[in-house]
Structures are given as C-alpha cells and as structure tokens.
Amino acid sequence: MYRKHQSRSTTLLIQDDSSSLKTWRRISYAELSQATDGFEESNLLGLGSFRYVYRGRLSDGMEVAIKVFNLQIEGAFRSFDIECEALRNIIHRNLVKIVTCCSNVDFKALVLDFMSNGSLEKWFHSENCSLDILQRMNIMIDVATALEHLHTGHPTPVIHCDLKPYNILLDEDMVAHVGDFGIAKLLGEGDVMRQTMTLATIGYMAPEFGSAGIVSIKCDVYSYGIVLIETFTKKRPTDEFFTDEMTMRDWVKRSLCRGLIDIADADILRREDEYFVVKANCIASIMDLALGCSTNSPEERKDTKDVVVELKKIKQSFPNSIQHV
C-alpha cells in the first residue's frame, strides 16, 4: 500500500489543452489525500509496477482516478515524466484525459478522468461481466482510432508500447479510452528506435520489441492484433493452452478453416444461434484482420488507419436487426 506522508514542495501544473477557455486546475497533496480519504485501501482501484491508482472525489465534486507513483521503485520518476509529456501533448476522445498532476520532491501523482466502467480486462475475465458483439466491435474501433491518432495525429508519433486490456478503460457510455502511458515512446527522426530495457507485457509485446528492443508504431499494431483476438475469444495470449508450438495466432489460423465455433467466446457465438452464420462470418473477418495486425514481420502488419477503415466496414455489414442479439 502507498505510504502516507506529508509533502512539502510546490505543485507542478499541467495545462488542459483541450480548450483554451479552461483555466489550469490547482491541486495539492493535501487535496488528493482528502479526495481519497487518506489514500484509503477501499479506494484502491489497481496497482502496477510503478503506481497505485485510487478513486477520489475532489473538493468541487469531480470524480477522478488518482495515479500515485511509487518513488521507491527504480524507473518511477521517468515513468511519471513520460506520462506527463505524452498526456500533455495529445488530446483525443479515445485517450484517457489528464486533469492535472502534482509533482513534489517526495510525491508524484497524475489526476485523470474517472472511467466508471473499469478496464476491458474486467469485462473479459470477471464474473457477471458480458459484452455483446456490437459493443466489442465499437470498443476495438475506439482503440484503433486512438492508436491512429497517436501514430499520425501530430508531428511526433507516440508509441504506447504496452497496449493490453488492462490499459483500455471504459466510461459510463462504454466508450473506450486508452490509458497508462508510463513506458510510451515519442518517436524522433526515423521510423524506429532502440531501447535496452523492455518493460512491456509478455504476450502482447511485439517479437522485435522483446528480442531486440526495436520500437516502432508497428509494435502497437501487433499488440492491437493480440487484443483484438482476445476481445472475441476471451483467451489471454499467456494462457497455458498456448505454447511455442501452438501460439494464439496459430490457434486462430487453424480455427478459421473450421468455422470458429471452437475459439469464439460462447457469449457471442453458439451453434444453436439463429444468426450463427452471420455472426461467424463477422468474427472470421475480424480474426483475419487481427492476424494481419500481428504478423511476426513488422513490415507486413497493417497500418492503423487501414485497421479503422476495415473494422468500420465489418460493422456496417453486420445487420442492424441482430446487432444486440
């Protein structure tokens, strides 16, 4: 649990660039502590390598997620700086928005929009959580749109580097927002860069990233392809079922020839479904797209703009009469 302490230094302010009419919000350690009832464990939403995330309510009534960085962990300072830089410079409806941040000598935290429906991970792997086929398509269109903006929406491409269901958050309207930019990379000159330490998540990490530290926008495309498969199968890439001889991609490729009934999530595809053929064809098209995103060769992977176009075409071909069946 995060160690409570008094913070003494001044607060770093980050401007909300989404509107020039908005003023900077001032925040202090004391207000963040009050917002979380003293960083009470009951308000803890999750934790990761460098941070704890708390649910909080600010003095003006705004509900937020407060990401507190564990400064005792090596790399936490850099993770904080990277995320501040990324979130300060990019604004998009499918990216988690930063409200402000607090940066003192012994305390660093990001204050983010609160996502009331939690992570995609929760919806895949928790009891009493279920998504229909249309919701899954919309979520993955949202994620692809976010990646397209990161990669092409401004002069310096941003590579997320750790796309996975845990980092895809859903708001009250089930709109997806990509978050957690703690190991993101801002691509300078050229299309690729190298790094010596890899912190991305096994299973979702592109092969060239894990083996040689090669980072490019195609790394995000690979991760997206894996998440796309998980979205319609509810199988994690690290499931014990998969081995070096039978990867998740191998499993999907072989199943495409057998009508997908053995891999598609039973919540959205059953043999006895009245619209089985229509649904199976839709999921087959999505799986084919996922395979095109997650090839071992970066050069052969899809571009994010093409992924968005293809997913929208698949959605448009899905009959309105059965979208919620």
pLDDT at 189: 58
For residue range 297-320, list pLDDT tens digits in order: 999 999 999 999 999 999 998 876
Task: Report the CATH number of the 29-113 domain.
Answer: 3.30.200.20
Reported confidence tier of residue 195, pLDDT bands at 50, 70, 90: low
Q: Region 99-121: what's the mean pLDDT?
A: 92
**Residue range(s) occupied by CATH 3.30.200.20 in the chain:** 29-113
For residue range 119-158, list pLDDT tens digits in order: 999 999 888 888 999 999 999 999 999 999 999 988 888 9
* Identified catalytic residue from 113, 162, 180, 265: 162
**Residue range(s) occupied by CATH 1.10.510.10 in the chain:** 120-322
CA distance linking residue 112 with residue 227, whole number of Å: 23
- When mean pLDDT is compared across 10-19, 28-37, 250-259, the lowest value belongs to 10-19
Reported confidence tier of residue 322, pLDDT bands at 50, 70, 90: low
pLDDT at 15: 36
Q: What is the percent of the chain where pLDDT is above 90?
A: 53
- The mean pLDDT value of the chain amounts to 85
pTM of the full predicted structure?
Answer: 0.88
User: Does the structure show a pLDDT above 90 at 227?
Assistant: yes
**Main-chain phi, psi angles of 205, to 5 degrees:** -85, 135
**Residues 254/211/151/170 CA torsion (nearest 10 deg):** 60
CA distance linking residue 51 with residue 246, whole number of Å: 34
Whether 162 sits among the annotated catalytic residues: the reply is yes
The residue ranges of DSSP E strands in the chain, in sequence order, are 44-47, 51-57, 63-69, 98-103, 108-113, 158-159, 168-170, 176-178, 185-186, 193-194, 214-215
Contact between 286 and 279 under an 8 Å Cβ cutoff? The reply is no
Smallest CA-to-CA distance from 305 within 94, 95, 144 is with 144
pLDDT at 7: 38
CATH superfamily of 120-322: Transferase(Phosphotransferase) domain 1 (1.10.510.10)
User: Does the structure show a pLDDT above 90 at 271?
Assistant: no
